[in-house]
Structure 1
Amino acid sequence: MIGLFNDGFPPIMDGVSLTVKNYAYWLNRKNENVCVVTPKIPGIDYTEKYPVYRYTSIPIPMRKPYRLGFPRIDLPFYEHICKRPFSLVHAHCPFSSGELAMRIAHNQHIPIVATFHSKYRDDFKRVIPNKTLLSLLVRKVIRFYEAADEVWIPQAAVEETIREYGYKGKVEIVDNGTEFSGSENVQSIKTDMRKELGISKNELMFLFVGQHIREKNPGLIIDALSLIKEKPFRMFFIGSGYAEDELHQQVKRLGLENKIKFIGTLTDREQLKRYYAAADLFLFPSLYDNAPLVVREAASMQTPSLLISGATSAEIVEDARNGFLCGRSVAEFAEKLTELIQSPEKIRQAGTNASGTIARSWENVAEEVRDRYKSLLKRYA
C-alpha cells in the first residue's frame, strides 16, 4: 500500500490538501493500492474509494479550519496504522502526519518521499517572536527532509527556499496539476456565470481565491483597487482566514462595497470552476506561496494571473505572454491594472496562452508520480 500523509485534507481546501486528494484519486483510478492518513475533523465522514485513516486532533487557535494532530496518543488508530503493510509512504508536510510517516518508514524498512510545499518559516514567524526558537524549528523541519529518501518540490524556484533553510541534499521537481485542465466550453461557462453575477459587458471581473491571511497580501489588492475605483471592474474574494474581518473593514473604509464582494469558503469545485471561467484576471500578489494551485486552476479556465515580479509563484509566468507581472507597491499594482483594463485583447490572449503553458492535468501528474514511486521502490530494493 502507498500511504499519503498530510496534516490537512478536504474540506480543508488549501493547495496541499487538494494535491493529496488528487494524488489519491488518480492513483486509485490507476489501480494503485493507496490510502490517506490525516488528522480527524469532527463531523466529517469520507466516501472516497480509497481508505482515509484519521487520528485525534484539536483546533489550532486563529487558524480555522486547521487542526493539530496527535497520532501517537490515539492508540486504536496508532496500533492499526502501524500494522498496515506499506510499500512506500509520502509525507506532504513535516509535522504530525509527516513524523508518523517517517516512523512507519523506519519501522517497516520502506522508502519515504517528502514534498516541500510551504514556506514554513513564514508560518512560524506569525506566532513565534523568538528568533532562537524560530531557527530551531526551521532546523527541525530541515532534519525531517534530510531523513527522507527523496525530496520533491512542486516548482523549480522552490529550491531557493529550501536551500535558504539549510537543506543541502538533492531535490526532484514534480509539478502540481489542476482538475480543471482540458475543460470544454469555457466561453459558454464564462458567459453564463457573468450573467448570473451581473457583470456587464464593459466591466472586467477580477478574482482572488485563497486564505484570507496577511501573508498572501490581499490587502494590497484592495488598496490598489481603491486607486482606480472609477474604472469599470468588479472584484470577488473567495476563501476565509484570520484577516477576513479586517479586509471587510478595509473595503468599507475605502468605499468599495459596490465594487468588491466576499464569497466566503467555496467547497463546491464546479462552482469554483465557474468563477475562474467568469474572471478576466486572477489577482495574486502573494510573496508567501511557493507553487499555488490557484494560478494553475485559473489558467486552466483561460484566466491569466497578475503576480508580483520575483515572487516564487511567478516563476511559471512570462509577463504579457501567459500572465502579467508588476512591482510590489500598491501604486505599481494599480498602474498595471489600469494598463490591462485598457487592453482587454492582451488579457484574452494571455489567458489562451496560460491554458496551454501552465495548466497540467492531475491525471498526467499522477502518471509521473506513479512512475517515480516505482523507480524509487526498485532502487530501494
Structure 2
Amino acid sequence: MDSSVFAQFNDTYKPIMDGVGVCAENYARWLTRKHRTTWIVAPKVGGYTDREEFPVLRFPSIPLPSMKPYRIGLPWLDPHVRKNLNETEFSLIHAHCPFVSGRLALGIARSRGVPFVATFHTKYHDDFSHVLRNKRLVARAVRGIVDFYSAADAVWAPNNATALTLRGYGYTGEIEIMPNGTDLVIPDEPTYSKFRRVGAEAIGVDDDVTVFLFVGQHRWEKNVGLIIDALIRLSRTKTRFRMVFAGEGYAADEMRRRCRPIRDHVKFLGVVLDRDVLKSLYARADLFLFPSLYDNAPLVMREAAAYSCPAVLAEGSSAAEGFPDGDAVFLTPNDPDALALRLESLACDPSLRHRVGERAKEVIYLTWETVVDEVSVRYAEIIAARRRAPR
C-alpha cells in the first residue's frame, strides 16, 4: 500500500487567514478525508495551537510590519523542519505562493524527484509596489515570480482572469484552471432564519435596516476606500444602513479613522474565525460589498452565495469575470458616486436583491469537496506523467 503523502505549502495559515490559506486548508482537509494524507507546511504563529485532522508542520517566522498581519518565514532556523521534510515520503508537493514556503517546496520537490504543482493566486505586482516602492525592484521581483512558476511541473490558476495576470508578468507556459470553493453548506430555511436572527442581534439592527458586509483583509488594495467614500455619500440620503467590516490588516486603523463621519453606520468586528459567526453575518447581510481590483477569485463570494447574499463588484475586475450585471452579481463603476447611487437603489429593492442572491446560489456556489475531487484526479495524472517521463 502506498504510504506517501501530499503536501500544501503556503506563507499564511491559521490564525492569519486569507483566501489562499483557506484554499490550502481545504485541499489538505478533503484530500486527507477522501484520498491521501496531506500536510500543511506554513509559518509558525506564537500562541496558536494546531488542532487539524491532518498534519501541520510549522517553521519559524517573524512579523512583516508593512503587510500586517502577514509574517515572513525562516524555515532554515529550525533543523527539525528540514529533518521532518527529508524523512517524509512525498508523492507530490503543491505550493500556493512563490515566496519562502514556495521556494522551500520547490527545493524539496526537486531534491526528492517528485512532481511540483504551483498555483498562482494573487496579483503580486501590487504587493511588491506596496512594500518595495521602487519600480526597478518591483520589475526584478516580478521576474522572480515568473522564474518560479516556470520551474513547476504544473501551474494552476483559479480563473481565466488570474491566468491572464500571470501571462502579463511574462509567463509563457501552460496554465490550468482549478477553481476555488467554499466549506459553507447551503442552509435549509430554518437554519437560514436562525442564523439571520443571530446576525441581526450581533450587528444590532432591525429588519428595516439594509446591511452591507465586507469580509477580508483590511488593505487599501482591496478598494475598501471606495466603499467608505461611497458610504459617506450614502449617509446623506434617507437610506437606513449598517456597514459591517470583518477582518484585519495594515489599513484597519486608518479605515476606522476615515469612517468617523459615519461611525453610527459602521461596525468593525476584527478577524472572525468562528464559522458560525461568519454564517450569521452572511445570512443577515443584504449585500456583500467587494469592489476589489486586487483579488482574482475571492472565496468570500462563494461563501456569500451559499447564503443567497449577492455581491457588488467593480466592473472589469477579475472577480467579475463572466458575470453580467444583475444576473448573479451587481456591477458598479470604480467610482464612489456611482457606488453610492447603486447602493441607494438596491436598498429600496429587496425583491431584486433576493432574485440575484438566489441566482448567485445557483451559479457561484461550489463546494471544496467537489473541487478537491478534481484536484485528486489531476494529482494522479501529474504523478503518472512524471513516472512515464524519460529521466
TM-score (structure 2 length as normaliser): 0.94
Is 1:297 the equivalent of 2:303? yes
Is 1:52 the equivalent of 2:60? no
2:195 aligned partner, one-letter code: I
* 1:233-255 per-position Cα deviation (integer Å, ceiling 9, x unaligned): 11111111111111111111xx2
* Other structure's SS at 1:183 match: coil
Aligned to 2:239: 231
Give the conservation status (yes or no) of the 8 Å contact 2:30–2:368: yes
Aligned to 1:100: 104
Name which of 247, 250, 254 aligns with 1:246: 254
In structure 2, C-alpha distance between the alignment counterparts of 1:114 and 1:219, rounded to whole Å? 32
Q: What is the deviation of 1:263? A: 0.9
* Other structure's SS at 1:87 match: strand
Aligned to 2:359: 353
Is 1:21 the equivalent of 2:25? yes
In structure 2, C-alpha distance between the alignment counterparts of 1:79 and 1:66, rounded to whole Å? 26
Aligned to 2:165: 161
Aligned to 2:79: 75
Question: Counterparts in 2 of 1:109-258, with a 5 A limit?
Answer: 109-184=113-188, 185-229=191-235, 230-252=238-260, 255-258=261-264
Q: Which moved more, 1:335-344 or 1:363-372?
A: 335-344
In structure 2, C-alpha distance between the alignment counterparts of 1:203 and 1:316, rounded to whole Å? 31
2:246 aligned partner, one-letter code: I
Give the conservation status (yes or no) of the 8 Å contact 1:182–1:361: no
In structure 2, C-alpha distance between the alignment counterparts of 1:40 and 1:341, rounded to whole Å? 43
Aligned to 2:93: 89
* Other structure's SS at 2:313 match: strand
In structure 1, C-alpha distance between the alignment counterparts of 2:357 and 2:96, rounded to whole Å? 30
Q: What is the deviation of 1:70? A: 1.6
* 1:309-357 per-position Cα deviation (integer Å, ceiling 9, x unaligned): 0001111533111110010111111111122112111001111110111
Name which of 331, 340, 345 aligns with 1:339: 345
Q: What is the deviation of 1:131? A: 1.3
* Other structure's SS at 1:104 match: helix
Name which of 9, 32, 35 aligns with 2:36: 32
Q: What is the deviation of 1:196? A: 4.5
Name which of 239, 262, 266 aligns with 2:268: 262
Aligned-residue sequence identity (percent) comes to 44
In structure 1, C-alpha distance between the alignment counterparts of 2:216 and 2:322, rounded to whole Å? 19
2:386 aligned partner, one-letter code: Y
Give the conservation status (yes or no) of the 8 Å contact 1:296–1:358: yes
In structure 1, C-alpha distance between the alignment counterparts of 2:201 and 2:256, rounded to whole Å? 25
In structure 2, C-alpha distance between the alignment counterparts of 1:216 and 1:325, rounded to whole Å? 16
* Other structure's SS at 1:82 match: helix
Which stretches in structure 1 are left out of the alignment for 5+ residues? none
In structure 1, C-alpha distance between the alignment counterparts of 2:203 and 2:245, rounded to whole Å? 13
Is 1:373 the equivalent of 2:366? no
Aligned to 1:314: 320
Which stretches in structure 2 are left out of the alignment for 5+ residues? none
In structure 2, C-alpha distance between the alignment counterparts of 1:221 and 1:306, rounded to whole Å? 10
1:245 aligned partner, one-letter code: D
Q: RMSD in angstroms over aligned alpha carbons?
A: 1.3
In structure 2, C-alpha distance between the alignment counterparts of 1:153 and 1:76, rounded to whole Å? 32
Give the conservation status (yes or no) of the 8 Å contact 1:309–1:328: yes
Name the count of aligned residue pairs. Answer: 379
2:316 aligned partner, one-letter code: G
Q: What is the deviation of 1:69? A: 0.8
Q: Which moved more, 1:105-114 or 1:225-234?
A: 225-234
Q: What is the deviation of 1:77? A: 1.4
Give the conservation status (yes or no) of the 8 Å contact 1:89–1:113: yes
2:328 aligned partner, one-letter code: N
In structure 2, C-alpha distance between the alignment counterparts of 1:145 and 1:29, rounded to whole Å? 29
Give the conservation status (yes or no) of the 8 Å contact 1:40–1:57: yes
In structure 1, C-alpha distance between the alignment counterparts of 2:98 and 2:47, rounded to whole Å? 26
2:255 aligned partner, one-letter code: L
Give the conservation status (yes or no) of the 8 Å contact 1:323–1:350: yes
Give the conservation status (yes or no) of the 8 Å contact 1:316–1:358: no
Name which of 271, 277, 283 aligns with 1:277: 283
- Over 3 Å counting, the alpha-carbon distance change for 1:92 and 1:50 in structure 2 is same
* Other structure's SS at 1:180 match: coil
Q: What is the deviation of 1:189? A: 2.1
Give the conservation status (yes or no) of the 8 Å contact 1:159–1:171: yes
